[in-house]
């Protein structure tokens, strides 16, 4: 399966990745190889196979609706690059 440079750029943008020209070239080749590998599945006969939501045959893993203590805020914010007034501080979001 052919992967175009535009596709690589689009996927990179969606993932918020800034790729250099060289990386884009490399990525185009790598993605083509990966997709090609995964493409083999299209040659399988899946006539009788149900769509799989999950590979492990377990359903209904539920938790009781019981409150447990939340994390101490100082600890929660410890690794935040920036914090202010008990909040995570991020670059301004323009709306």
Q: Checking phi first, is residue 32 left (phi over 0); if not, alpha (psi -120 to 50) or beta?
A: alpha
Nearer to other proteins, 10 or 29 (CB): 10
Nearer to other proteins, 44 or 69 (CB): 69
Nearer to other proteins, 47 or 86 (CB): 86
For the CB of residue 7, give the shortest distance to other proteins in the complex, in Å.
Answer: 12
Residue 24 CA neighbour count, 13 Å, CB half: 15
Q: What is d(CA 93, CA 82) in angstroms, rounded to the nearest whole number?
A: 15
For the CB of residue 89, give the shortest distance to other proteins in the complex, in Å.
Answer: 4
For the CB of residue 41, give the shortest distance to other proteins in the complex, in Å.
Answer: 15
Q: What is d(CA 27, CA 20) in angstroms, rounded to the nearest whole number?
A: 10
Q: Is 63 in contact with 57 (CB distance < 8 Å)?
A: no
Give the interface with other proteins as residue ranges (CB under 8 A). 13-14, 16, 53-54, 56, 58-68, 70-71, 73, 76-77, 82, 84-95
For the CB of residue 72, give the shortest distance to other proteins in the complex, in Å.
Answer: 9
């Amino acid at each position: 399966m052919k992967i175009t440079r535009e596709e690589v750029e689009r996927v990179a943008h969606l993932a918020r990745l800034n790729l250099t020209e060289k990386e884009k070239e490399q990525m185009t080749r790598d993605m083509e190889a990966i997709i090609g590998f995964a493409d083999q599945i299209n040659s399988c006969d899946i006539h009788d196979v149900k769509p799989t939501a999950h590979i492990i045959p377990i359903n209904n893993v539920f938790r009781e609706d019981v409150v447990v203590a939340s994390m101490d805020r100082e600890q929660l914010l410890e690794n935040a690059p920036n914090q202010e007034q008990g909040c995570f501080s991020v670059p301004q979001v323009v709306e």
